[in-house]
């Protein structure tokens, strides 16, 4: 019986080995081989950590320890090891930079990821699948790696385009947890393959190979792995040509994505960016994530009857006139969204948040809660900020921008604006501010 089973397995194995992509002569590209794969790997190894770290920075920038909707992954357990960190307010462009890098680089590396996958495709079709338990586990972990990176890319892309994944909470759970699955696969992969990569590049040299034209391009010598074709076709592109195509594709993605982070002057470049629209006229003509219409703001809510409820040791109802009668300050600050886009500095005018803390009788408050009139997005309806954020002299409850009243889309009658803080936390259409003693 066992004998029979063994025979059957061998027969299946023999059949598979000679079938389609499992056949070595099925693959014919003359430029596939350890050198090209190692080159793409090296590029990814440089870029991926930057995208990873700037992603973690976004996690910290929301101050998840404050709870509420600041923590979009409430049961992250041990993966929340960065949660307690306090996010700074300087430099004022900090979040604009880190989140811009995260999204723009993340989009730009798509062609590189696919090039790498193309270059290793023959090695995914290998029979027998592994020679030992160790190799079997290692090969299985490739699922975490490839599945993880594709999942990361598509959750990000779909989210910034408001397609399928439109809920901020759901998005963060998908993007945050699957990131760790990817990192698990990546750590093992780098541990095992780093020496292979170095060897692959060394064998032919980087500069040496990049100097070869199409006529000088020849297949690599047979290797232990399965990347090199046993039956290569004549080359139609040099290795450096293939690299240039990938780099050109990445640069195209980069050029189209970077336009949304450089302010109004460059927004013509962001042809395919989701928020290339202009929501207002004149001084209010800079980007928003969400219009008042989308947020479900009705005119009565923000008419003369609007009051700011200021809660602390005292409880006050302040009209817009009351607020405008207080000392007003101007801060020049950008808006930077989780989606990667940002605006240049805008001149916001309003009341210092620290003055409001004093007015509420809570100069020693540790955090503040903003509540918004908006009704369609549960995450943006409330936001917490830490003491270092609302005590910053540049942090305002803004009433005006660039010399005019805020437009409805920019959060009229009043919105929060705090340096280096994610746009989503800078609550618009505020109706209540509550200062609290404990974090």
Partner 1 sequence: MKNIPGYGRGPVHLLGVIFCYILAIYAGVKLFSNVSLWIALAFPAGIFLHDFVLFPLYSGIDRGLKHLQRRQQREEKVSVGWVNHVRVPVMISFFLLLAYFPIILRLSDDRYLYFANHRYLSIPLASGYSGTGSWLRLQLLCSEAAL
Shortest distance, position 292 Cβ to partner 1, whole Å: 10
Shortest distance, position 103 Cβ to partner 1, whole Å: 12
Q: What is the DSSP string of 165-223?
A: ---HHHHHHHHHHHHHHHHHHHHHHHHHHHHHHHHHHHHH-HHHHHT--GGG--PPPP-
Q: Which stretch binds partner 1 (CB under 8 A): 69-77, 320-328, 357-365, 387-395?
A: 69-77
Q: Taking CB under 8 A as the rule, does residue 311 contact partner 1? A: no
List the one residue from 12, 166, 198, 378 that touches partner 1 (CB under 8 A): 166
Within residues 241-280, the interface with partner 1 by CB under 8 A covers 241, 245, 248-249, 252-253, 256, 267-268, 271-272, 274-279
List the one residue from 15, 162, 298, 313 that touches partner 1 (CB under 8 A): 162
List the one residue from 126, 170, 320, 432 that touches partner 1 (CB under 8 A): 170
Helix (H, G, I), strand (E, B) or coil at 436: strand
Within residues 316-345, the interface with partner 1 by CB under 8 A covers none
Q: Which stretch binds partner 1 (CB under 8 A): 52-60, 68-76, 87-95, 343-351?
A: 68-76
Residue closer to partner 1, measured from CB, 62 or 435: 62
Which candidate, 193, 205, 212, places its Cα nearest to that of 41? Answer: 193
DSSP state of 87: P
Q: Taking CB under 8 A as the rule, does residue 173 contact partner 1? A: yes
Would you tell me how many other CB atoms lie within 10 Å of the CB of residue 139? 14
Q: Taking CB under 8 A as the rule, does residue 128 contact partner 1? A: no
Q: Taking CB under 8 A as the rule, does residue 236 contact partner 1? A: yes
Helix (H) or strand (E) holding 350: strand 346-352
Helix (H) or strand (E) holding 49: helix 34-61
* Contact present, 115 and 40 (Cβ < 8 Å): yes
Q: Taking CB under 8 A as the rule, does residue 282 contact partner 1? A: no
Within residues 6-35, the interface with partner 1 by CB under 8 A covers 21
Which candidate, 430, 417, 434, 426, places its Cα nearest to that of 356? Answer: 434
Contact pattern from residue 379 through residue 398 relative to partner 1, giving x for each residue in contact according to CB under 8 A and a dash for the rest: --------------------
Helix (H) or strand (E) holding 225: none
Q: Taking CB under 8 A as the rule, does residue 151 contact partner 1? A: yes
Shortest distance, position 373 Cβ to partner 1, whole Å: 18
Residues 374-408 as b or e (16 or more Cβ within 10 Å = b): beebebbbbbbbbbebbbbebbbbbbbbbeebbbb
Q: Map tokens 């292979």 to a residue.
A: 196
Phi, psi (rounded to 5 degrees) for 96: -55, -40
Q: Which stretch binds partner 1 (CB under 8 A): 9-17, 97-105, 235-243, 385-393?
A: 235-243
Q: How many residues does the chain have?
A: 439
Which whole-number Å values give the CA distances from 370 to 58, 220, 308, 381, 396, in the listed order? 20, 62, 11, 8, 12
Residue closer to partner 1, measured from CB, 192 or 404: 192
Q: Taking CB under 8 A as the rule, does residue 350 contact partner 1? A: no
CA-CA distance, 349 to 435, in Å (whole number)?
21
Which whole-number Å values give the CA distances from 244 to 33, 237, 255, 259, in the listed order? 17, 10, 16, 22
Which whole-number Å values give the CA distances from 352 to 119, 348, 357, 388, 416, in the listed order? 56, 11, 9, 13, 10
Shortest distance, position 255 Cβ to partner 1, whole Å: 9
Shortest distance, position 149 Cβ to partner 1, whole Å: 11
Shortest distance, position 157 Cβ to partner 1, whole Å: 6
List the one residue from 47, 60, 181, 210 that touches partner 1 (CB under 8 A): 181
Within residues 182-221, the interface with partner 1 by CB under 8 A covers 183-185, 187-188, 191-192
Residue closer to partner 1, measured from CB, 210 or 244: 244
Residues contributing to the site for partner 1 (CB under 8 A): 21, 73, 75-79, 107, 110-111, 114, 121, 131-135, 137-138, 141, 143-144, 147, 150-151, 157-158, 161-164, 166, 170, 173-174, 177-181, 183-185, 187-188, 191-192, 233, 236-237, 241, 245, 248-249, 252-253, 256, 267-268, 271-272, 274-279, 291, 293-294
């Amino acid at each position: 019986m066992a004998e029979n089973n063994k025979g059957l397995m061998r027969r299946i194995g023999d059949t598979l080995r000679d079938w389609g992509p499992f056949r070595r002569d099925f693959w014919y590209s003359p430029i596939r081989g350890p050198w090209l794969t190692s080159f793409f790997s090296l590029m990814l190894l440089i870029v991926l950590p930057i995208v990873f770290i700037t992603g973690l920075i976004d996690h910290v920038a929301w101050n998840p320890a404050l709870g509420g909707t600041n923590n979009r992954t409430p049961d992250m357990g041990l993966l929340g090891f960065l949660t307690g960190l306090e996010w700074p307010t300087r430099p004022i462009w900090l979040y604009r930079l880190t989140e811009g890098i995260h999204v723009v680089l993340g989009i730009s590396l798509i062609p590189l990821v696919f090039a790498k996958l193309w270059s290793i495709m023959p090695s995914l079709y290998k029979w027998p699948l592994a020679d030992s338990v160790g190799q079997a586990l290692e090969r299985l972990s490739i699922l975490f790696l490839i599945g993880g990176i594709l999942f990361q890319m598509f959750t990000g892309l779909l989210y910034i385009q408001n397609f399928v994944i439109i809920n901020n909470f759901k998005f963060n759970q998908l993007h945050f947890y699957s990131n760790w699955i990817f990192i698990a696969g990546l750590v093992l992969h780098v541990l095992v393959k780093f020496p292979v990569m170095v060897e692959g590049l060394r064998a032919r040299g980087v500069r040496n190979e990049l100097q070869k034209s199409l006529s000088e391009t020849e297949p690599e010598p047979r290797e232990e792995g399965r990347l090199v074709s046993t039956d290569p076709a004549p080359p139609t592109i040099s290795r450096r040509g293939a690299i240039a195509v990938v780099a050109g594709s990445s640069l195209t993605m980069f050029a189209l994505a970077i336009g949304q982070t450089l302010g109004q002057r460059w927004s013509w470049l962001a042809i395919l960016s989701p928020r290339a629209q202009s929501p207002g006229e004149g001084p209010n003509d800079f980007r928003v994530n969400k219009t008042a219409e989308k947020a479900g703001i009705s005119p009565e809510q923000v008419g003369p009857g609007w009051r700011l409820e200021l809660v602390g040791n005292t409880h006050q109802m302040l009209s817009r006139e009351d607020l405008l009668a207080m000392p007003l300050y101007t801060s020049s600050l950008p808006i930077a969204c989780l989606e990667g886009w940002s605006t240049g500095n805008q001149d916001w005018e309003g009341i210092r948040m620290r003055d409001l803390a004093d007015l509420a009788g809570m100069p020693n408050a540790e955090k503040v809660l903003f509540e918004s009139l908006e009704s369609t997005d549960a995450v943006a309806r409330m936001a917490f900020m830490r003491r270092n954020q609302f005590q910053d002299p540049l942090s305002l409850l803004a009433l005006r921008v660039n010399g005019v009243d805020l437009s409805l889309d920019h959060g009229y009658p009043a919105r929060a604006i705090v340096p280096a803080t994610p746009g989503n936390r800078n609550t618009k259409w505020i109706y209540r501010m509550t200062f609290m003693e404990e974090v």
